Structure 1
């Protein structure tokens, strides 16, 4: 028997990931494990093994973007789980694993776009200040916008959303478990009057 949904369940409209969820009983260990697993996106480590970075520490050349992505993920995934936890504890939403993944996708896309725009703005300001004339400043601003804004934003979104999908799946399956079905009391059995 496969672990996937049956044809009858799909016919009733029950999609994968739509079962009600709750925090795991051992939340104190499951949540940190989910955060760590979500931050450690496998493609980054494969690329680090194949092409080792030449720049590990911040200096004149900057840090390898993969190291920055890992550092950002180690901060962003626990913050995302905390935001998600507050919402889940207060409203019961997201109520499904699919809801957890969607929230991570949205937060990851917004974070990736925001960080790329912040980097582009900082680079624009640094290049404009370092320029020796107005024409030189305008040329450096144009080049920086084209490189970090126009060309860098789609790449940042691709990496950010892919990493967020991985993190969302890790959190949805490690930190949450299927909620047991609610027991409905029968008339007269549990002392209802």
Structure 2
């Protein structure tokens, strides 16, 4: 079975493409998640920019346009420092995990901010406590799993785009003197 593992898709060693000319299209393609782009054309947003009422797809697209290059930069620094991730599967896994964590963190911050705004906008102490509870239940308890699922899906798309557009197969180094370690087939 160990002989069959290196032939699985995504487990061949890769190296980042050199130059920003190859990485910019990878970051733009990763930020352009097809469900967001298609739904913007099918159902145009009513509020393009109005604070709390901004369409969530526009917010998600803005986060993707900022988060993808930052994630790619962190991934390239990690690869330059440790040589990991060394496979396309490793790139996709890193993007997916950290995209889900980013979505959870952002939804948690949003739940706390909305609860604070609801509490401040109320007219009495008990009304404020009820508004805070409602905001935490809606944005925290009900919204967090949905946000994580959407964030993981978006990050999976981004990881696939970066893995296939931003990385190329690494050159094979022959073990001429027997000093190289056995290849790590996981590469994660």
Q: TM-score, normalised by structure 1?
A: 0.87
Kindly report structure 1 stretches of 4+ aligned residues shifted beyond 2 Å.
183-186
Match of 1:18? 11
Match of 1:70? 61
Counterparts of residues 21-100 of structure 1 (less than 5 Å):
21-25=14-18, 27-59=19-51, 62-100=53-91
Asked if 1:163 is matched to 2:137, the reply is no
Could you tell me which runs of 5 or more consecutive residues in structure 1 were left unpaired when the two chains were aligned: 1-8, 187-193
SS at 1:52's partner residue?
coil
SS at 2:92's partner residue?
helix
How many equivalent pairs are there?
Answer: 177
Residues of 2 paired with 1:112 and 1:70: CA distance?
A: 13
Residues of 2 paired with 1:28 and 1:50: CA distance?
A: 33
CA shift, 1:58, in A, is 2.0
CA shift, 1:23, in A, is 1.4
SS at 1:177's partner residue?
strand
- CA deviation map 1:104-159 (0-9, x unaligned): 01110000000001011001111111111111011101110111011111111111
CA shift, 1:183, in A, is 3.2
CA shift, 1:10, in A, is 9.0
Match of 1:117? 108
